[in-house]
Amino acid sequence: MGLQQSNIEALPFVTAELNYLAPTLGRPRTYAFDPPAGEPKTTALPDPRQVPIFDARLIAENISLDREGFALVRHPTRVRDFYDDKEVRDVYYPAAEAFLKATLKADRVFIFDHTVRKRVEGAADVRGGGPRQPATRVHVDQTDVSGANRVREHLPEEADELLKGRVQVINLWRPIRGPLRDAPLAMCDGQTVAPGDLVASDLIYPSRKGETYSVKYNPNHRWFYVPEMTADEALLLKCYDSATDGRTRFGPHTAFVDPTTPADAALRESIELRTLVFHKP
């Protein structure tokens, strides 16, 4: 049963501010390092909107990664310290790869990077300076162009053959500690996103240029979150899918300030893996 058969309006919800993309002249761009003299850090200006964000926990069994673009899964882990990069790569990567391969019935899964986040009041989000801050703008990590380019970048010798089959970029996102009450993740139902809502935006690194989707406000967007996620739970987020059969969708996401968060709640700590998921033709 899909969400179209669920009584969404009867679900509990919070009303919160999400940062969409304001109209800009030209293609938005953001520097992942200190920009050249005279250049702004980003040309993507926020368009904050108050929207209802519905409790997805109560209808989790009706949510499909291939339809809505996200899914809640149970995924216990043996990792003791997610701030230990070696332990993450030696312990978490293999377990997550096996989990995703089985869950998504994939032929192959390749993890190409991860990001640890720890919210610090008033701190700037600095790449390469320790844990990142939660991302507080509505976005999709990949575009139709950059999703395929990830295969060419990370698996160049096999790329031509792998791109003949179905390729997805799937993020595996989880709280490091739970229950998570501070800065939870909001996910947009991919069925409610129109192609014109997505704006390809440059993400500029010192040695390369990436591409993500910024997102324009659309009142038809339908938002969900999973309150009080535990450390044994995770979210799957579809960020790219080469399939063009009309069934597969991906949805934007963003951290947000939940107005019901207790003042003494622990600040958010989370980790996301970014993965390439392959199915043979």
Q: Give the three-class secondary structure for 209.
A: strand
Alpha helix locations (H) across the chain? 85-87, 93-103, 144-154, 159-162
Instruction: Tell me what pLDDT residue 133 has.
Output: 93
| Separation between Cα atoms, residue 45 and residue 36, nearest integer Å | 19
pTM of the model: 0.94
DSSP codes joined into one string, 119-149: --TT----TTSSSBPPP-S-EES--HHHHHH
Whether the per-residue pLDDT at 102 is higher than 70: the answer is: yes
| Separation between Cα atoms, residue 255 and residue 127, nearest integer Å | 17
User: For the ranges 95-109, 189-203, 224-238, which has the lowest average pLDDT?
Assistant: 189-203
49-94 pLDDT, tens digit each: 999 999 999 999 999 999 999 999 999 999 999 999 999 999 999 9
180-215 pLDDT, tens digit each: 999 999 999 999 999 999 999 999 888 888 899 999
CA atoms lying within 13 Å on the CB side of residue 66: 13
Distances (CA, A) of 276 to 79, 88, 163, 170: 22, 18, 11, 6
Residues 6+ apart with CB under 8 A from 181: 227, 228, 258, 261, 262, 265, 266
Would you say 57 and 63 are in contact if contact means Cβ atoms under 8 Å apart? no
126-156 pLDDT, tens digit each: 776 678 999 999 999 999 999 999 999 999 9
**Residue holding tokens 């519905």?**
54
**Percent with pLDDT over 70 in the chain:** 95
Instruction: Tell me what pLDDT residue 145 has.
Output: 93
